[in-house]
Amino acid sequence: MKLFLSCWLFWGLLFPAFNWAVDIVPPSFDARLLQANDFYKHTETSEDFNETWSYSLFFTNGTKAYINFASLPIPSQGRKIGCDLSFFSPKWKNPSVGRQYPPERLIVQKDKKRMTIKEEYFMENIPGKGHRVFFSADKGGRFFVDITFTSAVPGIVPGNGIWKVGKEQMTQFIHIPYGKVTGRIGFNEDTIAVSGYGYMDHIFQSASSIDLVDRSLSFSMPYSDSMYAGRVSLSKNGFPLGYGVFIQNGKPEIITPKQVLENGKNYSGKSFPKQELILTWVSSIPELKIDVSKVQQKFSILNNFDGWFAKKAAKLLMGGEVWFYRGRSFQEKKAINWSLTGL
């Protein structure tokens, strides 16, 4: 309690004029390392509870792979386990695939330190060095990813990682801010060895993400002496949720977003931005500038639902069509890979 009150007192002294939203309570900022139980599937606390494990993988040959595993409710269909993969690859013309299964297909095997879905998809070993993600699907083409983290910056979180938004809750864990990766990826007959780096985070919420936030921005960088990684979302009233990690000489530090600016003005998140975004932080960490004017890939999540009815149901659940805008920009000659998500 003393730590919690001290954090709020510190914020009040540092930013007395900042307009914190009264219906949003962030977690306490006593940073801690993430543990094994943070990684595994969590108890569903409501009918609308949803949980997603996300990987962003960037390879030295220019290919990128984005993987999501999720537990979520679908209107009229009940709870489903979703798995999706999208490649950014001009050679393969940016293919993507999505599959949905009944919830009992997701098996948590804590004794083996893994979560598996039909043995066609799994996450193995606690996030960190040696963590492995495997994805294989034969739908609209043959997709394959088998990647292992050969090194990893430790995952950290502010307190319990829970943001209270009115009566709802959003929890965010950055399990791997940065890690070297190696393995194999494939599409149809073309399977290749790859290496590069990866970022992995994990979110679970008591309500649909569309009910809590308008826009979400994830970002990560290749290794350097000072670098950023994380995910920041904007609530319905433009308040930034989530957190980032600033890594300096291999040591991670939690950074709390103060504002997200576009063209010098507060960015509300109501629509996709067209100019450079500037993220400022509560601490003295330098601002992060991300040029989102040039989009490399636009991807609709509806692409990965089977059939007209499933697409309509998913669109109803989300309140519209959810898009991912992805690209790469530079700050002081350092590359920043970014992804924007929203209606």
Contacts of 177 (CB under 8 A, 6+ apart): 153, 155, 156, 199, 220, 229, 230, 245, 247, 252
- Give per-residue pLDDT as tens, 196-237: 999 999 999 999 888 899 999 999 999 999 999 999 999 998
Strands, E, within 249-296: which ranges?
A: 251-255, 257-262, 265-266, 276-281, 288-291
Report whether pLDDT(185) > 90.
yes
Model's pTM, two decimal places?
Answer: 0.90
Please name the residue that has the structure tokens 């070993």. 125
Give CA separation, 118 vs 103, 115, 122, 148, in Å.
Answer: 11, 10, 8, 20
The model's pLDDT over 15-58, given as tens digits with 9 standing for 90+, comes to: 333 334 448 899 987 899 999 999 999 999 999 999 999 999 99
What integer pLDDT is reported at residue 211 of this predicted model? 86
DSSP class of 167: T
Other Cβ atoms within 10 Å of 11 Cβ, number: 17
Q: 300-320 burial by CB neighbour count: b if 16+ within 10 A, else e?
A: ebbebbeeeebbebbbebbee
Give the C-alpha separation, 159 to 8, whole Å: 13
Residue 254's DSSP bridge partners are 245
Tokens of 94: 């940016």
Sorted by where each starts, the structural domains of the chain and their CATH numbers stand as: 21-342 (2.40.370.10)
pLDDT digits (tens, 9 = 90+) for 169-182: 999 999 999 999 99
* Pairing outcome for strands 288-291 and 276-281: antiparallel
Phi, psi of 324 (to 5 degrees): -115, 120
Q: Do 182 and 58 form a contact (C-beta atoms < 8 A)?
A: no
